[in-house]
């Protein structure tokens, strides 16, 4: 997400910087009367709270005035994002080491690996999951549900899918097998459903069905919004699906209407918990709340497009797209408010502020705040045995930044982070293969279109 143009004048925050800060810290933050804000080690550190405090209160002994009476809290917050973006662009090798490609071997902290392309398709792959026999079922946003055989062949789309409108960020998105698929045959899909034939109004819908003779049969809608929540907005559909103890959790983004994320009476901006057949659990947190949708499990989310369950603790983890800055990793807890858009570490894409607050009583803090945004997408805890030192680490894909991060968690905390892949394409989804390899669904960029599925294999 970092672009040099942000430093050279695009967006309101850049004007604020040029007007109030450039005279001492330089037009490009490299310093002058005041020090460089791009130095690897700032004197006071680069924690966002510290940066905000210095701008607000100044450093009177060093000759920097307080800006509390000059700038609003929102503007101060926007400047913090701006400084963090500039620092990330300047210190590109800061923090986790970039994986280096040397004769096809990527060297990372714990394991060296090779990438193997197992399939290429013309569409935009969005979700993937594995049959017990090792075949993969994957979606293309355009509305295709295909099977990747273990011999590398990719089938045509499964026939007879429900109506799906592919527009903007919507289309056929998530696919997941029921944990008891071998007994019941259920496959779950999440997609943008048109309100009616030829309607441009859509909403995220969750359905299940079975695949018999390469045809979608026994279709059942598991969750659907009421008609008035179908909108022409083409973005922020969410969505991922995970199963736990007979329950199904899924997400819907704010659909571009950010205040809806705080509204318990409407679907956008929530995590939902339903039974695997669509019934609403009577122990959900808001069942007794008169106005709330009883299927809501957590709220205040912007657009969650990654979700997985920790293999040992059973805790649900989620990645959520921030605006400009403020991508989040969240630990999802029953009934909690994740704060969007009341609190955020990000600002609007055009550099104008969204909110002055990064925290508030009663609202959850992210476990990781990625500022600048990497455009966090699919995630997976590694559960295989091919990479013993990666077990239970969380792998996080980034779209815009074209990265895969490895995150080491200790309880509620992220204790270490490493970039293990860079510049291969937009990482849409990550999954554990039954073969113990880690699979990536990558949307190719630049002059290439289409997608590839690659697997990460140990390099001996
Ligand atoms: C009159 C000159 C002046 C102006 C204007 C000014 N600063 Fe500073 N600033 C300084 C000086 C001097 C320091 C002391 C440390 C140094 O030299 O970097 C400092 C320190 C800082 C630091 C701490 C750096 C560190 O290494 O810990 C930050 C962050 C900062 N300024 C941000 C800003 C921002 C943002 C603005 C605009 C809103 C601004 N400053 C405007 C002079 C200025």
| Residue 297: CATH number of its domain | 2.120.10.30
Domain end (from 90, 124, 144): 90
Kindly indicate the confidence band of residue 96, based on its pLDDT and cuts at 50, 70 and 90. very low
What is the percentage of the chain residues whose pLDDT exceeds 90? 85
How many other C-beta atoms are found inside a 10 Å radius of the C-beta of residue 29? 23
Average pLDDT over residues 34-49: 91
For the ranges 93-97, 324-328, 370-374, the lowest mean pLDDT is seen at 93-97
| Mean pLDDT, range 371-398, rounded to an integer | 97
Question: Is the distance from CB of 329 to CB of 409 less than 8 angstroms?
Answer: no
20: Cβ below 6 Å to ligand 1?
A: yes
Nearest-angstrom CA–CA distance, 374 and 326: 9
Closest CA to 192 of 158, 149, 141: 141
Does residue 433 belong to any structural domain of this protein?
yes
pLDDT band at 98 (very low <50, low <70, confident <90, very high): low
Q: Is 43 in the pocket of ligand 1 (CB under 6 A)?
A: yes
For the question of whether the overall pTM of this predicted structure is more than 0.95, the answer is no
| Ramachandran sector of residue 202 (left: φ over 0; alpha: ψ -120 to 50; beta: rest) | beta
**Of the listed 25, 77, 166, 236, which one is catalytic?**
236
Backbone angles phi and psi of 181, in degrees to 5:
-50, -40
- Give the pLDDT band (50/70/90) at residue 216: very high
Looking at the structure, tell me whether residues 184 and 237 fall in a common domain: yes
**Pairwise CA distance, residues 386 & 111, whole Å:** 10
Q: Is the pLDDT of residue 75 over 90?
A: yes
The single-letter DSSP state of residue 324 is: B
Same domain, 276 and 213: yes
Distance from C-alpha of 241 to C-alpha of 188, rounded to nearest angstrom: 8
* Tally of domains within the chain: 2
190-204: average pLDDT = 96
Q: If you ran DSSP here, which 8-state letter would residue 343 be given?
A: B
Q: How far is the CA of 62 from the centre of ligand 1 (A)?
A: 9
Q: Is pLDDT at 102 greater than 70 in this prediction?
A: no
**pLDDT score recorded for residue 1:** 35
Same domain flag for 31 and 57: yes
The SS3 assignment for 440 reads strand
Question: Other CB atoms closer than 10 Å to residue 447's CB: what's the count?
Answer: 5
CATH number at residue 18: 1.10.760.10
Ligand 1 midpoint to CA 54 (Å): 8
Helices (H), 185-281: none
Residue 19 sits in the same domain as residue 108:
no
| Judgement on whether residues 204 and 141 belong to the same structural domain of the protein | yes
Assess whether the C-beta atom of 55 lies below 6 angstroms from ligand 1: yes
The pairing of strands 100-102 and 136-140 is unpaired
Whether 342 is covered by a domain: the verdict is no
Same domain, 63 and 212: no
Q: Is the CB of 21 under 6 A from ligand 1?
A: yes
Closest ligand 1 atom to the C-alpha of 41? 26
Residue nearest to atom 32 of ligand 1 (CA): 55
- Kindly report the number of other CB atoms within 10 A of residue 124's CB atom: 21
Residues 68 and 134 in one domain: no
Q: Tell me which residue range forms the domain holding 52.
A: 4-90
Residue 32 Cα to ligand 1 midpoint, Å, equals: 10
Q: Pick the last residue of a domain from 90, 121, 151.
A: 90
Q: In what order do the strands lie in the sheet with 413-422?
A: 376-381, 394-398, 403-410, 413-422
- 130 and 191 part of one domain: yes
User: Side-chain half-sphere of 453: how many Cα atoms within 13 Å?
Assistant: 32
Question: Does the CA dihedral 157-161-167-170 come out positive or negative?
Answer: negative
Going from the Cα of 35 to the center of ligand 1, the distance in angstroms, rounded, reads: 7
Rounded to whole angstroms, how far apart are CA atoms 429 and 440?
A: 6
Same domain, 16 and 107: no
Do 413 and 383 lie in one domain? The reply is yes
Q: Is 111 a catalytic residue?
A: no
Residues 62 and 105 in one domain: no
- Residue 359 lies inside a defined structural domain of this protein: no
Is the bond leading into 239 cis (omega within 30 degrees of zero)?
A: yes
């Amino acid at each position: 997400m970092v672009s040099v143009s942000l430093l050279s004048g695009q967006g309101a925050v850049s004007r604020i910087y040029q007007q109030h800060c450039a005279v001492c810290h330089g037009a490009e933050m490299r310093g002058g009367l005041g020090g460089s804000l791009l130095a690897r080690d700032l004197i006071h550190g680069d924690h966002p709270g510290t940066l905000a405090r210095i701008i607000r209160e100044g450093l009177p002994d060093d000759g920097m005035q307080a800006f509390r009476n000059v700038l609003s809290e929102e503007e101060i917050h926007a400047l913090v994002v701006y400084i963090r973006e500039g620092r990330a662009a300047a210190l590109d090798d800061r923090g986790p080491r970039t994986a280096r490609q040397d004769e096809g071997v990527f060297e990372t902290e714990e394991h060296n690996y090779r990438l193997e392309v197992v399939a290429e398709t013309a569409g935009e792959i969005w979700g993937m999951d594995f049959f017990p026999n090792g075949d993969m079922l994957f979606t293309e946003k355009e509305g295709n549900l295909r099977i990747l055989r273990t011999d590398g062949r990719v089938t045509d789309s499964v026939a007879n899918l429900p109506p799906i409108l592919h527009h903007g960020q919507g289309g056929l998105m998530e696919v997941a097998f029921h944990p008891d698929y071998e007994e019941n045959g259920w496959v779950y899909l999440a997609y943008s459903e048109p309100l009616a034939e030829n309607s441009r109004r859509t909403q995220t819908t969750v359905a299940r069905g079975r695949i018999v003779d390469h045809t979608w049969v026994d279709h059942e809608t598991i969750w659907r919004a009421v008609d008035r929540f179908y909108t022409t907005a083409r973005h922020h559909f969410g969505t991922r699906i995970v199963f736990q103890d007979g329950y199904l959790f899924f997400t819907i983004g704010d659909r571009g209407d950010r205040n809806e994320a705080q509204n318990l009476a409407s679907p956008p901006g929530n995590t939902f918990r339903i039974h695997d057949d669509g019934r609403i659990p009577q122990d959900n947190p808001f069942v007794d709340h008169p106005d709330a949708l009883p299927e809501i499990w957590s709220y205040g989310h912007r657009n969650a497009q990654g979700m997985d369950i920790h293999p040992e603790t059973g805790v649900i983890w989620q990645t959520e797209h921030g605006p400009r800055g403020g991508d989040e990793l969240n630990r999802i807890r029953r009934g909690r408010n994740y704060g969007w858009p009341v609190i955020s570490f990000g600002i609007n894409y055009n550099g104008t502020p969204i909110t002055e607050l990064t925290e508030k009583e009663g609202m959850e803090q992210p476990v990781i705040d990625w500022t600048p945004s990497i455009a966090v997408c699919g995630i997976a805890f590694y559960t295989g045995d091919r990479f013993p030192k990666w077990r239970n680490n969380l792998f996080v894909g980034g779209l815009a930044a074209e990265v895969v991060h490895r995150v080491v968690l200790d309880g509620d905390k992220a204790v270490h982070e490493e970039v293990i892949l860079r510049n291969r394409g937009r990482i849409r989804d990550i999954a554990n293969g039954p073969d113990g390899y880690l699979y990536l669904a990558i949307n190719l960029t630049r002059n290439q279109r289409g997608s590839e599925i690659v697997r990460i294999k140990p390099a001996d």
